[in-house]
Amino acid sequence: MFNKETEYALRGLVYIKLQNLKGRRPGTAEVSKEIEAPPFFTAKILQRLVRSGLLESLKGKGGGFFFDPEKPELQLVKLVSATEGDRSFTGCGIGLKYCDKANPCPLHEKYAPIRESINNLLSEETVQSLAQKVHKKEISLTNALK
Amino acid sequence: MFNKETEYALRGLVYIKLQNLKGRRPGTAEVSKEIEAPPFFTAKILQRLVRSGLLESLKGKGGGFFFDPEKPELQLVKLVSATEGDRSFTGCGIGLKYCDKANPCPLHEKYAPIRESINNLLSEETVQSLAQKVHKKEISLTNALK
DNA sequence: TTACCAAAAGACCTTTTTGTCTTTTAATAA
DNA sequence: TTATTAAAAGACAAAAAGGTCTTTTGGTAA
Ligand code: FES
Ligand code: FES
């Protein structure tokens, strides 16, 4: 589905939002540990998200990562665009230069609707909506062996 | 959706089957040209498919690639397993170690049905069924610019 | 049986992805 | 204003994906 960077970003952002709800601002060490992702890589990914304006951060004592309450919820499609680029879920299923329903590949008829449902999912869900699910239900961000 | 190897394999196999229907056995040069894939890489990929028993080949004059008429149709899921490994469309959407509906991630509820429809597609469709579509309709394996 | 043809095998290379680590910068608190 | 804290920046490296090329092997046909 997603590449590693997107997976870590997704889990990390949901964890950060979840902590924000509790009035906390987690740092890289805490985030990486809680989402079971490589520490330095997690730090780099969070940095990139801040630079691209999807996340806020504060240095120094009491610093960490948080979401700007002023900004609208972060749609997953925005996140994926930032980490994997726009072309992720727009291309042809068998790799033609572009997907053209007027000149479709043999997979188009069945694949195009699936691709659309993925795009719907990515538009509907946000980091905040996912955090809400974790917050309310018994739903998790990790599932370590045993 | 798929990685490059799978894309080239898919396009290549459909092209080969299409030619088989016309009584021909195309070689690597022809296949790579027709599906617009890198020649040497295409050759390597077809070799792997032969080694894994999904495709047949003949060396020497008049040689080339072809499907064994005795064998059942090649489900796309078989092909994808061979090129990308089994875990391609079984894993968790946000990268948890495994997808467990008893302990779901926040994306599970909406993602699992999509993943299943992808798996249905990959089970239903075969290289032969795709070749049939290209054969019957005005459907293509390439769509060069202009 | 020789010449030729085309796939098989495998070495090699490039790019991208994934990951690590050190140094610098900025914020806070004492 | 100094010590401490934590992110920012960026160099570096390992691994995987993507791609190229040469040599060998096994067929075919003349
Ligand atoms: S043309 Fe291939 S998916 Fe639309
Ligand atoms: S647990 Fe994540 S998709 Fe099922």
Residue B146 has pLDDT above 60, yes or no: no
3-state SS class at B40: helix
pLDDT digits (tens, 9 = 90+) for A45-56: 999 999 999 999
**What is the DSSP secondary structure assignment for residue B87, as one 8-state letter?**
G
Minimal C-alpha gap between A54 and chain B (Å): 18
Tokens standing for residue B90: 């079984």
- pLDDT for A6-32, tens place per residue? 999 999 999 999 999 999 999 999 999
- Residue A98: how many CB atoms within 10 A of its CB? 11
Q: Average pLDDT over chain A, rounded to whole?
A: 94
Q: What is the pLDDT of residue A114?
A: 96
Cα of A59 vs centre of ligand 2, distance in Å, is: 34
Predicted TM-score (pTM) of the model is 0.94
A112 inside 8 A of chain B by CB: no
Q: Is A140 on the interface with B (CB under 8 A)?
A: yes
- Residue B142 confidence (pLDDT) above 90: no
Say yes or no to pLDDT of B126 above 90.
Answer: yes
Which nucleotides of chain C are near protein (any atom < 7 Å from a CB)? 4-11, 17-22, 25-29
- Which among A33, A38, A3 is positioned nearest to A15, based on CA atoms? A33
pLDDT at A111 (0 to 100): 97
Domain boundaries of chain B, sorted by first residue: 1-69+128-146, 75-125
Q: How many helices (H) and strands (E) does chain A have?
A: 6, 2
Please list, in sequence order, all residues whose beta carbon lies within 8 angstroms of the beta carbon of residue B2, skipping any fewer than 6 positions away: A93, A94, A95, B10, B80, B83, B84
Q: Which atom of ligand 2 is nearest to the CA of B91?
A: 3
Average pLDDT of chain B is 94
Interface contact A130-B106, CB threshold 8 A: yes
Picking from B140, B6, B136, the residue whose alpha carbon sits closest to that of residue B79 is B6
Q: Whose CA is nearest to atom 2 of ligand 2?
A: B92
Q: Which pLDDT score is estimated for B82?
A: 95
Answer yes or no: are the C-beta atoms of B66 and B58 closer than 8 Å.
yes
Tell me the torsion sign for CA atoms A127, A128, A132, A135. positive
Q: Provide mean pLDDT across the span B104-108.
A: 96
Contact A139 B2 (CB under 8 A): no
- pLDDT value, residue A139: 87
% pLDDT > 70, chain B: 98
User: Which tens digit of pLDDT belongs to each residue from A89-103?
Assistant: 889 999 999 999 999
DSSP string, A76-87: HHHHHHHHH-GG
With cut-offs at 50, 70 and 90, classify the pLDDT of residue A146: very low
Would you say A27 and A20 are in contact if contact means Cβ atoms under 8 Å apart?
no
Mean pLDDT of the B74-89 span: 91
Q: Which of B103, B111, B117 has the most ligand 2 atoms within 8 A of CB, as the residue to mutate?
A: B111
**Mean pLDDT confidence for B80-93:** 89
Confidence at residue B144, expressed as pLDDT on a 0 to 100 scale: 55
Q: Give the minimum alpha-carbon distance from B40 to chain A in angstroms, rounded to a whole number.
A: 18
Match domain A1-69+128-146 to its CATH number in 1.10.10.10, 3.30.70.2610, 1.10.579.10, 2.60.40.10. Answer: 1.10.10.10
What does the alpha-carbon distance between residue A45 and residue B133 come to, in Å, rounded to a whole number? 43
Amino acid at A62: G
Q: Residue A141 Cα, ligand 2 centroid: separation in angstroms?
A: 10
